[in-house]
Amino acid sequence: MEPEPAITKILSRPRPQSPNIQIYRPQLTSVLSIANRMTGVVLSLAAVGLVLWLSAAAAGPEAYGAVRGVIASWPGQVVLLGCTFAFFLHLCGGIRHLFWDTVRGFELRSIYMSGWAVVAASVILTMAAWIASLFLAK
Amino acid sequence: MTTKNIIIDSSDQVPSFNLLRRFPVPRNFKVAPQSRIEKGRTWPAPAGATRVKAFDIYRYDPEAERNPRIDTFEIDLDDCGPMVLDALIWIKNKVDPALTFRRSCREGVCGSCAMNMDGTNWLACTRFISDMSPSATIFPLANLPIIKDLVPDTTHLFAQYEMIEPWLHAETPVPEKERLQSPEERSQLDGSYECILCFCCTSGCPSHWWNGDRFLGPAALLQAYRWLADSRDEAKEERLDTLEDPFRLYRCHTILNCTRTCPKGLNPGKAIAEIKKMVIERDS
């Protein structure tokens, strides 16, 4: 019997796939895209929390007091702060996508300017919302 | 830090600040057993070299029954040209003749030496060694089957290119001379005809990583736009029919890694947005 040619052996083995996310450098483009996805997930979960809060309010003072206690605790406040930031990041990112849908703002410089604007606006709006709710709403 | 560090004006700008070198995912995240990368060997610089630069380079030998590995090559900068491609050729000539990579024009017009350097895709012939990070890495283009070392199998990418039928479709009789275009009509092709099919963009697109079997990717879609924008082409409807699909076109989520990485400074992300707009205008 003929010995098996080397090439058959090579071709029978699956080729490796070169790495992708394991090595590709995080850039503003990809980081904001994944952040938009992740904040979307966070907001979906936050919507459940919102329903719980409203249900508690409808159920009566006792239930509402319990939920309010959870929200007022410091882990609750951290989660609420995270949700606020997620809301604004997702909102600003969504507006950026609306502009892109009209084929505007695609020059690389514009992409980076709008990207950092989204980050800055989300931070400022989060801070403004918290300052307003902590000090002005008293 | 200046704004130049964070606002990128053109794709040839090498990022100068480094918050994260790579995404915080495990090294073997979604990696098949045969693709897992192992530690390789170090090839020291020749004796007497004073300006030494180390490169971590992806190696895969299909004839050796082992996984891909990372070899470290120390090169003598005083004996080597200025570009990353020069470093690869220096290694092949002087250190390890088995190191395998594609190259041809060495001036950024052929697209052969596209690879992943310091985590982003670019052409090795137009990337300066001096722009590489202290711990420089060279991988093949991301997310492709590897034939050997830095040579990926691009069969699937060219099949996707073929799918958009990159040739003129015209039913009207062939005129006596050429099919004429006004300068304005011709200018519609600027920014897309220059593509050299190096596939830096498609290989750098996360959407194509996850759905590359059905999503056409930025390179093929930029060429789809090139034919949609051609005043001489008469198959716009059919072309849009082929593209209007949840995966082929709409898996583009406007991440824009493509526009950031294009070594020719083209804008696949914008071309895809133009196609989406054409589909909406046609259907409304």
Q: Give the B window 82-111 contacts with A, CB below 8 Å.
A: none
Rg (CA), chain A: 24
The alpha carbon of residue A82 is apart from the nearest alpha carbon of chain B, in Å, by: 20
Instruction: Report the SS3 class of residue B255.
Output: coil
Q: Which residues of B touch A18 (CB under 8 A)?
A: 35, 58, 116, 139-146, 152
Mean pLDDT over B246-256 rounds to 97
Q: Which residue of B has its CA nearest to A18?
A: B143
pLDDT value, residue A1? 63
- Cβ–Cβ of B269/A106 closer than 8 Å? yes
Amino acid at B75: I
- Can you read off the two tokens belonging to residue B87? 């470093």
Using CB atoms, which residue from A22, A30, A97 is nearest to B206? A30
CATH class of the domain defined by A27-137: mainly alpha
The 10s digit of each residue's pLDDT in B95-121 is: 999 999 999 999 999 999 999 999 999
Query: Strands B38-43 and B69-76: what pairing?
Result: parallel
Chosen for mutation from B19, B23, B58 (greatest number of chain A CBs closer than 10 Å) is B23
Using CB atoms, which residue from B7, B146, B257 is nearest to A15? B146
- Can you read off the two tokens belonging to residue B65? 């029954």
Mean pLDDT over A38-43 rounds to 97
Domain boundaries, chain A: 27-137
Quickly list DSSP for chain A: -PPPPHHHHHHHSPPPBPPSTTTSPP-HHHHHHHHHHHHHHHHHHHHHHHHHHHHHHHH-HHHHHHHHHHHHSHHHHHHHHHHHHHHHHHHHHHHHHHHHHTT-S-SHHHHHHHHHHHHHHHHHHHHHHHHIIIII--
Q: Mean pLDDT in chain B?
A: 95
Output DSSP code: residue B73: E
**ipTM computed for the complex:** 0.93
Task: For chain A, say whether B58 makes contact (Cβ under 8 Å).
Answer: yes
Q: Could you tell me what percent of chain B has a pLDDT over 90?
A: 91
Using CB atoms, which residue from A16, A22, A107 is nearest to B25? A22
- Sign of the Cα torsion B251, B253, B256, B259 reads positive
Cα B200 versus chain centre, distance = 1
Task: For chain B, say whether A77 makes contact (Cβ under 8 Å).
Answer: no
The 10s digit of each residue's pLDDT in B152-187 is: 999 999 999 999 999 999 999 999 999 999 999 999
Chosen for mutation from A4, A10, A15, A30 (greatest number of chain B CBs closer than 10 Å) is A15
Quickly list DSSP for A66-78: HHHHHHHSHHHHH
Cα B277 versus chain centre, distance = 25
Asked if the model's pLDDT at residue B4 lies above 70, the reply is no
pLDDT value, residue B2? 59
Of the candidates B115, B138, B145, B126, which has an alpha carbon nearest to the alpha carbon of residue B56? Answer: B138
| Secondary element (H or E) of residue B182 | none
- Cβ–Cβ of A24/B116 closer than 8 Å? yes
Give the contacts of B20 (CB within 8 A, at least 6 positions apart): A25, A26
Quickly list DSSP for B49-65: -SSEEEEEEEE--TTSS
Q: Which residues of B touch A105 (CB under 8 A)?
A: none
- Cβ–Cβ of A111/B15 closer than 8 Å? no
pTM for this prediction: 0.93
Dist CA A87 CA A50 (whole Å): 13
Q: Could you tell me what percent of chain B has a pLDDT over 70?
A: 98
Asked if the model's pLDDT at residue B3 lies above 80, the reply is no
Using CB atoms, which residue from A6, A14, A23 is nearest to B139? A23
pLDDT value, residue B32? 94
